[in-house]
């Protein structure tokens, strides 16, 4: 693709110039840029920026790709970079990638540029565009969704990690005949970022919840309901909290912290596992810390989540399984309108190779709740 200037949707894409050297070096040396683009030189100097502008970008274009500076439409100052690489002409396929300077983040720069360059690529005959992100980079995943890319799966150990080793990449894909506009989200964001009835609040799990969640999932009665029934390490809990937003964006699960609305203290955890998108079904699970039990919080959090699941997500069926002896959880489900459907014998792995029964509860969108 030729390095002409592209102006569309308030976006200005132009060739890199020598007067972009200082801004390119500053932006590409930024810790966030370095973290998520492991192939960039470290340290990223003005010499590295000069090489990119005079040799790297022209080479990308010569290979059939593209390399553009994202510039401010008014001042023409550099805001970021975007391009096409990994071109497979026989398949009509390419990979789109970008970076945004620290002074331009939060302004929709990457989304607008991705939409514009995608449209240009499709107009030139590309059939399929891939956008690859780290799971720990939900901001980039939101760009992909806003630009019409859909989550397709995980590429295991697809990229070298800075300092050694390899890491997974999430593949987001847009086809030439996909509808314009943002891609559909299986799990939308919570309204205002939370659900609350004034007593209980639910919000997305985050890095600040590691200590409370690690304590919760180390309790013997909670471990007994885990699959498998083994207490997680603190590192595993930290990874779960760090990846909660990504799993939400890919539509895998809505992992939530349960809070006391008055104090903001973490009272427990709750998860919606979107186990059967094709049938409109998801699984609900929750647990509370001992000091918050017996206050009716379980029933309240289930009611809150049920309202969002049926009214906003559009699910048809919500189900939950409990151990036969977990009477408190069963009562919370029943108070929220769930009906007992039966006993699944030996459904779950138990300790020492045994199997544990599970009592099945379900709620349909048309049921009273």
- Tokens representing 330 are 């069963």
- Pick 191-364's CATH classification: 3.40.630.30, 3.40.50.1370, 3.40.1210.10, 3.90.470.20: 3.40.630.30
Query: pLDDT digits over 32-89, tens only?
Result: 999 999 999 999 999 999 999 999 999 999 999 999 999 999 999 999 999 999 999 9
Bridge partner list, 259 = 201, 266
- Tokens representing 29 are 């040396």
Q: Which of 142-156, 265-279, 346-360 has the lowest mean pLDDT?
A: 346-360
pLDDT band at 2; cut points 50, 70, 90: very low
pLDDT, mean of residues 238-265: 97
Q: Do domains 6-175 and 191-364 have the same CATH topology?
A: yes
CATH topology of domain 6-175: Aminopeptidase (3.40.630)
Query: Which residue ranges make up each domain of the chain?
Result: 6-175, 191-364
H and E: helices and strands count for the chain: 12, 16
pLDDT, mean of residues 262-281: 95
Confidence at residue 3, expressed as pLDDT on a 0 to 100 scale: 59
Q: How far is CA 291 from CA 169, 287, 297, in A?
A: 40, 12, 11
Instruction: Report d(CA 301, CA 339) in Å as an integer.
Output: 17
pLDDT, mean of residues 191-200: 96
Which residue has better confidence, 10 or 64? 64
Sequence-ordered alpha helix ranges (H) in 137-271: 138-146, 210-216, 220-223, 234-242, 244-250
**Number of other residues whose CB lies within 10 A of the CB of residue 347:** 14
């Amino acid at each position: 693709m030729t390095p002409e200037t592209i102006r569309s949707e308030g976006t200005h894409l132009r060739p890199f110039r020598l007067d972009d050297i200082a801004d390119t070096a500053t932006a590409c040396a930024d810790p966030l840029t370095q973290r998520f683009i492991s192939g960039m030189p470290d340290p990223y100097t003005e010499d590295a920026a000069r090489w990119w502008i005079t040799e790297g970008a022209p080479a990308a274009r010569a290979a059939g790709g593209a390399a553009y500076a994202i510039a401010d439409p008014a001042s023409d100052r550099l805001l970021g970079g975007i391009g096409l690489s990994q071109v497979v002409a026989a398949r009509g396929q390419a990979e789109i990638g970008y970076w945004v300077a620290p002074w331009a983040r939060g302004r929709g720069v990457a989304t607008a540029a991705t939409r514009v360059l995608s449209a240009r690529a499709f107009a030139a005959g590309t059939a399929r565009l891939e956008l690859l992100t780290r799971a720990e980079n939900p901001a980039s995943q939101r760009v992909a969704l806003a630009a019409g890319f859909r989550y397709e799966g995980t590429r295991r150990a697809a990229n070298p990690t800075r300092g050694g080793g390899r890491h997974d990449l999430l593949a987001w894909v847009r086809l030439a005949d996909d509808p314009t506009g943002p891609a559909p989200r299986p799990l939308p964001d919570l309204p205002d970022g939370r659900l609350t009835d004034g007593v209980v609040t639910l919000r997305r799990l985050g890095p600040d919840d590691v200590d409370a969640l690690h304590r919760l999932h180390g309790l013997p009665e909670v471990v007994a309901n885990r699959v498998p029934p083994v207490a997680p390490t603190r590192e595993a809990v930290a990874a779960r909290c760090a990846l909660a937003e990504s799993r939400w964006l890919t539509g895998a699960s809505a992992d939530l912290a349960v809070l006391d609305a008055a104090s903001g203290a973490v009272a427990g955890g709750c998860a919606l596992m979107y186990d059967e998108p094709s049938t409109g079904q998801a699984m609900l699970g929750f647990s509370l810390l001992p000091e918050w039990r017996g206050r009716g919080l379980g029933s309240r959090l289930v009611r809150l989540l049920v309202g969002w699941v049926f009214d906003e997500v559009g699910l048809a069926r919500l189900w939950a399984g409990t151990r036969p002896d977990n009477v408190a959880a069963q009562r919370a489900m029943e108070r929220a309108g769930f009906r007992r459907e039966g006993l699944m014998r030996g459904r779950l792995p138990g300790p020492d190779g045994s199997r544990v029964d599970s009592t099945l509860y379900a709620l349909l969108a048309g049921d009273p709740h």
